[in-house]
């Protein structure tokens, strides 16, 4: 597997574009993704009971229709809590794109992100579609424009891509995502769009995605809020020409590994760009009795507001980590736990068998002052492990969310 530059246009046969349509005052706010040949489509969606209209539309397409050709995304308005009118606007959006592209409306997926409770300006969106279609390109630059157009409070675009050999053929997997706040998924996270030119059946594509989100997007938390709009879409157009993957085997394993790499990189970029964040906070639980135990412990640590605040302050307040492990619901012996902090500045054992090692506070602060910080908790019960990602909790997070709609 080889890491390459690019995003949704890295895979053959995919075009994209991003523009300022007028939903926002002066930033890009609409993106389109298109494959000239039909794609197998897979998806995972928010577990929030309150589901936005685009989630319901995309679930219908992914679950009940054989193929997809295009994705239309707007940022600025979430089209959530908008009733039948909001769902109707999804149909209008898909219908407009379908008519201009010469495809069926059931082959057009939609996505929205932004303020909840407002109806989308559907006329502006339809005009945006008219403007985007002639601009669609398969270039890296077009992919960047699309990645920028789906941003809300994100501070940077988020892309990732890899190539892998399947059946002697080079296959590419690339993606883009957005997410900075209201991120605490239990199925996927915010909006993520992944493309591949691999030939793979819809059934195996969905299997690969469903398995991947467990260890990637599901392991990210910025603020503990699960969005109404969380969506991950995966499109495979088969243009690479590899022997179609229809069952588990070596090619499926290699494809799943490539997909997992892209999703992991995108998930980490979401965590590191959490609203107001100054540091990516990674938590590894090792020596666990089971995968479930490791996941529970790591997510409890990474979501602890007190721990996140300590990371912001570069404070090795390890008691908060042990406390978060204790209320997680997972059973372990706190007197057997070893804890380390690690970053580009070094690695330091903070506690051994549940008590302080007498570590240097100065050295710990140095390690915690980096932009990427890892806490490693060894519970010494087995061989299972899990990794979760989050960010520090800053004053800026409160400022952003106290004034989000203005």
**Set 9, 44, 46, 189: catalytic member:** 189
**Residue 320, domain extent:** 280-402
106 and 86 both lie in a single domain: yes
- Please spell the DSSP secondary structure of 116-134, one letter per residue: TT----HHHHHHHHHHHGG
Q: Taking residues 396-400, report their average pLDDT.
A: 77
299: enclosing H helix or E strand: helix 291-302
The pLDDT of residue 284 is above 60: yes
pLDDT for position 157: 94
Residues 300 and 339 both lie in one domain:
yes
Shared domain check, 293 and 260 = no
Same domain for 232 and 344?
no
Q: Which residues pair with 112 in a beta bridge?
A: 74
Residue 180: predicted pLDDT: 58
- What pLDDT is stored for residue 274 in this prediction? 67
pLDDT of residue 226: 52
Tell which of 239, 272, 305 closes a domain. 272
9 is a catalytic site residue: no
301 and 377, same domain (yes or no): yes
Task: State which of 216, 244, 272 marks the end of a domain.
Answer: 272
Residues 249 and 326 placed together within one structural domain of the fold: no
Among residues 222, 238, 272, the one where a domain terminates is: 272
* The pair of three-digit structure tokens given for residue 338, joined into one six-digit string: 């070893």
Average pLDDT, the chain: 92
How far is 186 from 274, CA to CA, in rounded Å?
A: 17
Q: State whether 127 and 250 are in the same domain.
A: yes
Domain of 337, CATH number, reads 3.10.20.340
307 plus 197 within the same structural domain: no
Residue 186: band (very low, low, confident or very high) from pLDDT cuts 50, 70, 90: very low
Helix locations, 341-389, DSSP H: 361-368
Q: How many helices (H) and strands (E) does the chain have?
A: 11, 15
Please tell me the predicted confidence (pLDDT) of residue 355: 97
Instruction: Characterize the bridge pairing of strands 169-178 and 158-166.
Output: antiparallel
- Verify that 47 and 153 share a domain, yes or no: yes
Across the range 74-87, mean pLDDT stands at 91
Work out how many domains the chain is built from and give that number: 2
Residue 264: pLDDT over 60:
yes
**pLDDT score, position 11:** 98
Q: Between these two residues, 4 and 80, which has the higher pLDDT value?
A: 4
Do 250 and 344 reside in the same domain of the chain?
no
**Residue 217 pLDDT > 80:** yes
pLDDT at 78: 87
Q: What is the pLDDT of residues 321-379, one digit of tens each?
A: 999 999 999 999 999 999 999 999 999 999 999 999 999 999 999 999 999 999 999 99
pTM of the model: 0.82
Same domain, 285 and 266: no
At 227 the pLDDT is 53
- pLDDT at 225 > cutoff 60: no
Are 365 and 236 in the same domain? no
Overall average pLDDT of the 44-62 stretch: 90
């Amino acid at each position: 597997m080889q890491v390459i530059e690019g995003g949704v246009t890295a895979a053959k046969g995919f075009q994209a574009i991003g523009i300022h349509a007028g939903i926002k005052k002066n930033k890009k706010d609409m993106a389109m993704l298109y494959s000239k040949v039909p794609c197998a489509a897979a998806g995972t969606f928010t577990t929030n009971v309150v589901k936005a209209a685009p989630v319901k539309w995309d679930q219908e397409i992914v679950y009940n229709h054989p193929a997809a050709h295009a994705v239309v995304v707007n940022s600025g308005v979430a089209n959530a809590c908008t009733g039948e009118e909001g769902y109707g606007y999804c149909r209008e959006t898909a219908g407009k794109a379908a008519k201009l592209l010469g495809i069926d409306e059931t082959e057009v997926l939609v996505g929205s992100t932004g303020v909840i409770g407002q109806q989308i300006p559907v006329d502006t969106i339809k005009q945006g579609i008219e403007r985007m279609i002639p601009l669609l390109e398969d270039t890296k630059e077009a992919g960047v424009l699309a990645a920028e157009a789906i941003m809300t409070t994100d501070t940077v675009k988020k892309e990732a891509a890899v190539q892998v050999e399947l059946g002697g053929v080079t296959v590419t997997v690339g993606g883009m995502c957005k997410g900075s706040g209201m991120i605490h998924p239990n199925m996927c996270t915010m909006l993520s769009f992944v493309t591949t030119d691999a030939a793979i059946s819809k059934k195996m594509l969905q299997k690969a995605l469903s398995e991947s989100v467990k260890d990637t997007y599901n392991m990210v938390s910025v603020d503990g809020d699960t969005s109404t709009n969380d969506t991950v879409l995966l499109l495979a157009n088969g243009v690479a020409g590899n022997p179609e993957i229809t069952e588990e085997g070596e090619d499926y394993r290699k494809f799943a590994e490539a997909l997992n790499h892209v999703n992991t990189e995108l998930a980490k970029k979401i965590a590191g760009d959490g609203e107001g964040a100054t540091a990516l906070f990674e938590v590894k639980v090792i020596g666990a009795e089971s995968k479930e135990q490791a996941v529970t412990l790591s997510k409890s640590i990474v979501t602890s507001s007190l721990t996140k605040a300590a990371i912001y302050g570069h404070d090795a307040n390890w008691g908060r980590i042990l406390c978060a492990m204790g209320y997680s619901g997972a059973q372990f012996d706190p007197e057997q736990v070893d804890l380390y902090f690690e970053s580009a500045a070094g690695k330091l054992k903070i506690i051994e068998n549940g008590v302080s090692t007498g570590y240097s506070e100065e050295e710990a602060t140095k390690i915690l002052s980096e932009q990427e910080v890892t806490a490693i908790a060894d519970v010494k019960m087995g061989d299972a492990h899990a990794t979760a990602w989050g960010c520090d909790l800053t004053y800026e997070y409160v400022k952003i969310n106290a004034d989000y709609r203005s």
